[in-house]
């Protein structure tokens, strides 16, 4: 039974469509009215039947618009700031918008458009003041008052549309916007004349009233009216996809900031890509009557295929664990990473390679060494230019020397001009991005460095193509020290016992272990499945789970005929003991500290004065309860036995320097390369001594 309310709603929509149908007409006579009334009833149902027409099908799609932000303004400054300028006036700036759309047709003339999207606007207001007084003297010049804002909002609009010709539509409606991002910069700056003696008396600089941050008292909810034109072009034969050029003007009714005469309007043009469901396929022809089947023997059953997998856990001594589970424990880790003060260059090039993190002025304002926590050594090194830039800002009395060098081989032989170009490129970065005064930077050009790498070794020439950053101020070159979170998992082994039964042989198989849908360990093979598969989990493994939750695993086997079988999914529980939980429950803890020495030169093992601060710092961190491990390393250059001796000498030298007797001391040489040796920085960072300190913490105070 059909609901009366539902019938009324349906009739209301159909009547609305008919009222706006240009082909619908009424007769004037009463008799004709009676006839028309009867035919109308038929038309209502006919219209409903014709609802599958292309013009009465909904469309979904995406749009992208680009255009102008038209800003109406009459104010002096934003809330919470101050400016000496006259009022900011109207301005024009670029912007774009993008999002999704839905078009609901009501008739072949009318439809309703719904849109939800993202609108980005860069706003710039400038006012020039032609005369000013600076430092007690009058000058003919100019002060620029500038307000720059970066704003973004999400918007939702509803707009009825009318077809005025073929597929050309006019549309108008209401748009609601909500600001999700806003940031501004407001400043007054002397632009003419320029010079060291031209400045504002109250600041001593060529600018004042500098403000930046989020705009206060902003009206986050914005109301707009919008009008536009668009034309639909079908781009597929069945009219399933359409492309629509469009143009819109949007008028803002709401002020951007409360109690401030400042509003934004938009003129946008762009394109929309739309999808419309294709027409249904014609009904298939009736299937012919199948002839009677001959009396064949019963089909042969497919070959058997079955699989299973069982799992056990072994502890670090090889004993089986009853309740299978993995336990992760978090520790506080103090991490000291040396700062390699060399920038390496490609052959015959003075451009800083792209692997170094080069930033702009805005990013430089927000850069902080604290953001480098939990970062490995080589990624930290690639921020080296920004670390020096930040420290040069922090210590304005410090100076540096940039020494450019070359390989002194081939086309670079005696090419000191190239060495100077490399030094100048690094200088330009400090001056232009970090605002370092040129008087604080001294440039030098050499062929080979004072401590060159062996050019007869593979990679030696690469290491000699560099710019060395040196300073008498140790604060600039001190290591990067961060407090990180270290996650450890006790050494254990998970042993899987897979089995498969097949009549035709195994083609291939795989066993995957997943966490949160991502594979962290996988075994695979063909032909034969091993009786056992061992997954070793310890601090050195790169396939360890990193957070609490469940691991899932199953075995998939495919036979020679392409048949496949998969075992049911099983779980392994992973628990995590966090730092906060240990503090709340008073559980005894450990603190881990990792230090690396300032890097040794090629083939050297003697400690220099640059190692003294690190040695003193490490010595003061060691307690009677601390377990200390000192490990020497080298790169891959040179002979293996010589590298073994050099690495051992480096570790022993440091142990003598800090006068520690109970440390575990190793020289690994090139048997374990810490970093990728295909790049010069990787080889330099391998020429080091690592000091690991493990100190127990009794939270009960005992």
The confidence score (pLDDT) of residue 603 equals 64
What is the tens place of the pLDDT at every residue in 479-504?
A: 888 877 777 888 899 999 999 998 88
What's residue 259's pLDDT?
Answer: 87
pTM over 0.75: no
Closest CA to 506 of 559, 580, 433: 559
Q: Assign 586 a pLDDT band (cuts: 50, 70, 90).
A: low
pLDDT in tens, 619-662: 888 888 888 999 989 888 888 888 888 889 888 888 888 888 78
Write the secondary structure of 596-664 as one string of H (helix), E (strand) and C (coil): ECCCCCCCCCCCCHHHHHHHHHHHHHCCCCCEEEEEEECCCCCCHHHHHHHHHHHHHHHHHHHCCCCCE
Under a CB-based contact definition with an 8 Å cutoff, are residues 337 and 496 in contact?
no
Q: Is the pLDDT of residue 149 over 80?
A: yes
**pLDDT > 90? residue 419:** yes
Q: Residue 682: pLDDT above 80?
A: yes
- Those residues with Cβ within 8 angstroms of residue 236's Cβ, 6 or more apart along the chain or in another chain: none
pLDDT score at 295: 67
- Given a contact cutoff of 8 angstroms between Cβ atoms, the answer to whether 588 and 697 are in contact is yes
What pLDDT is recorded for position 64?
94
Task: Return d(Cα 573, Cα 313) in angstroms, integer.
Answer: 12
Dump strand ranges (E) for 9-109.
Answer: 59-73, 91-105
pLDDT at 34 over 60: no
15 has a pLDDT exceeding 50: no
Q: Which residue, among 7, 11, 137, 125, has the nearest Cα to 76 in the 3D structure?
A: 125
Mean pLDDT of 455-461: 85
């Amino acid at each position: 039974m059909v609901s009366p309310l539902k019938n009324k709603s349906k009739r209301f929509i159909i009547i609305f469509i008919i009222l706006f149908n240009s082909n619908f007409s009424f007769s004037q006579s009463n008799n004709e009215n009676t006839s028309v009334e009867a035919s109308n009833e038929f038309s209502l149902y006919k219209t409903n039947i014709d609802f599958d027409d292309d013009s009465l099908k909904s469309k979904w799609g995406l749009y992208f618009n680009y255009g102008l932000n038209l800003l109406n303004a009459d104010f002096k400054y934003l809330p919470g700031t101050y400016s000496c300028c006259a009022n900011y006036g109207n301005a024009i700036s670029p912007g774009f918008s993008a999002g999704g759309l839905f078009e609901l047709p009501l008739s072949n003339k009318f439809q309703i458009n719904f849109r939800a999207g993202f609108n980005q606007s860069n706003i710039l207001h400038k006012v020039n003041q032609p005369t000013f007084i600076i430092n007690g003297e009058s000058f003919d010049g100019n002060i620029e008052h500038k307000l720059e804002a970066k704003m973004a909002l999400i918007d939702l609009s509803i707009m009825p549309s009318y077809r005025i010709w073929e597929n050309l539509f006019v549309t108008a409606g209401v748009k609601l916007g909500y600001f999700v991002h806003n940031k501004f910069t407001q400043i007054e700056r002397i632009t003419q004349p320029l010079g060291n003696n031209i400045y504002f008396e109250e600041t001593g600089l060529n600018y004042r009233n500098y403000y930046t941050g989020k705009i206060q008292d902003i009206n986050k909810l914005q109301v707009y009216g919008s009008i536009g034109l668009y034309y639909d072009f079908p781009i597929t034969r069945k009219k399933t996809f359409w492309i629509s050029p469009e143009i819109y003007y949007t008028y803002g009714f709401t002020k951007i900031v409360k109690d401030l005469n400042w509003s934004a309007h938009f003129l946008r043009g762009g394109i929309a890509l739309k999808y419309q469901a294709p027409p249904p396929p014609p009904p298939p022809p009736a299937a012919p009557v199948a002839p009677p089947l001959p009396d064949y023997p019963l089909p042969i059953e497919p070959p058997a295929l079955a699989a299973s997998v069982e799992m056990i856990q072994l502890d670090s001594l090889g004993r089986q664990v009853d309740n299978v589970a993995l336990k992760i424990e978090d520790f506080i880790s103090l991490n000291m990473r040396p700062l390699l003060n060399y920038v390496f260059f490609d052959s015959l090039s003075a451009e800083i390679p792209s692997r170094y993190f080069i930033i702009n002025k805005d990013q430089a304002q927000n850069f902080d060494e604290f953001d480098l926590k939990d970062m490995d050594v080589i990624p930290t090194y690639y921020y080296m230019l920004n670390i020096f830039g930040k420290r040069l800002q922090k210590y304005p009395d410090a100076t540096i020397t940039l020494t450019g060098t070359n390989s002194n081989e081939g086309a670079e032989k005696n090419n000191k001009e190239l060495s100077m170009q490399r030094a100048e490129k690094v200088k330009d970065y400090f001056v232009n991005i970090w605002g370092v005064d040129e008087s604080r930077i001294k440039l030098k050009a050499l062929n080979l460095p004072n401590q060159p790498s062996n050019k007869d070794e593979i990679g030696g020439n690469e290491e000699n193509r560099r710019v060395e950053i040196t300073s008498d101020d140790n604060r600039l070159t001190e290591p990067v020290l961060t407090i990180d979170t270290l996650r450890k998992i006790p050494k254990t082994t998970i042993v899987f016992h897979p089995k498969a039964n097949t009549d035709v042989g195994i083609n291939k198989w795989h066993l995957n272990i997943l966490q949160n849908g991502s594979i962290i360990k996988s075994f695979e093979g063909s032909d034969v499945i091993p009786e056992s598969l061992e997954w070793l989990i310890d601090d050195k493994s790169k396939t360890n789970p990193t957070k609490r939750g469940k691991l899932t695993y199953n075995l998939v086997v495919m036979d020679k005929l392409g048949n496949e079988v998969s075992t049911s999914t099983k779980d392994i529980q992973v628990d995590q003991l966090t730092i906060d939980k240990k503090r709340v429950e008073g559980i005894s803890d450990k603190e881990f500290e990792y230090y690396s020495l300032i890097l040794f030169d090629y083939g050297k093992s003697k400690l220099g004065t640059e190692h003294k601060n690190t040695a003193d710092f490490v010595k003061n961190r060691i307690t009677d309860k601390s377990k200390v491990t000192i490990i020497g390393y080298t790169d891959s250059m040179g002979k293996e036995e010589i590298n073994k001796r050099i690495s051992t000498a480096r570790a022993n030298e440091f142990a003598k320097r800090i006068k520690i007797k109970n440390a575990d001391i190793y020289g690994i040489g090139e048997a374990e390369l810490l970093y990728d040796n295909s790049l010069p920085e990787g080889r330099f960072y391998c020429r080091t001594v690592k000091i690991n300190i493990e100190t127990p913490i009794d939270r009960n105070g005992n």
